[in-house]
Amino acid sequence: MDTEQERIRSYLQAQAAKLTIPQLVERVGNDMAQLNQALRTVPAERFTERPADDDWSANEIAAHLAATSRSVATGISAVLDSGSQPGRVPDAIKGTGVVRDAMGWWNEIHLDRERLFERVARARGDEHLDITWEHPMFGTLNWREWLLFTRLHDLDHARQLQATAEALATLSQ
């Protein structure tokens, strides 16, 4: 792990341990609005277009967000429901062939997240914190840290979506 990854991991650990479950849910939920807004910045007719060969299209970014959100939620629920060890969370674009518009992806992400929020709202907050699973950049995280990670993940990809929209606009000029 490099210095920046260590800094982020330290943030996740400290904040996840300090904040109550309602505070964690509020933080993640409030910043989802930026993701929703960023999804809408990419013109619908260019949603599947990559600004450059090595860039992701907005559709690919949204598919990655949906897959990661679902995987994290499944892992957190497994820990809370049965103390089960979650599987690895995907951290790459995998060609699913699924194409949706911004609203379609947002609805999927939002629905998955609402279900997650409902589940963690029923948690005490201290259960199974010894169960951790691997994040490819930040090492092992417990379920509270994974919950807070979704906030950073959303914000990171919201910036990526905004950059994609700007790059596509530049290509149009």
Reply yes or no on whether the pLDDT at 172 is more than 90.
no
pTM score of the predicted model? 0.93
Nearest by Cα to 54 from 162, 169, 171, 164: 164
Q: What is the mean pLDDT of residues 101-116?
A: 97
Q: What is the pLDDT of residue 88?
A: 79
- The domain spans of the chain are 3-172
Please report, for residues 60, 66, 80, 82, 126, the alpha-carbon distance to residue 20 in angstroms, rounded to integers and kept in the order given: 33, 25, 16, 21, 10
- For residue range 25-77, what is the model confidence (pLDDT) as tens digits? 999 999 999 999 999 999 999 999 999 999 999 999 999 999 999 999 999 99
CA distance 41 to 118: 29
Fold of 3-172: Four Helix Bundle (Hemerythrin (Met), subunit A) (1.20.120)
Q: Are 149 and 72 in contact (CB under 8 A)?
A: yes
pLDDT number for residue 93: 61
Average pLDDT over residues 71-84: 95
Confidence of residue 95 (pLDDT cuts 50, 70, 90): low
Q: Which residues contact 151 (CB under 8 A, 6 or more apart)?
A: 27, 28, 31
pLDDT at position 171 over 90: no
pLDDT score of 87? 81
Average pLDDT rounded to a whole number, residues 88-117:
87
**35-39, 90-94, 141-145, 166-170, range with the lowest pLDDT:** 90-94
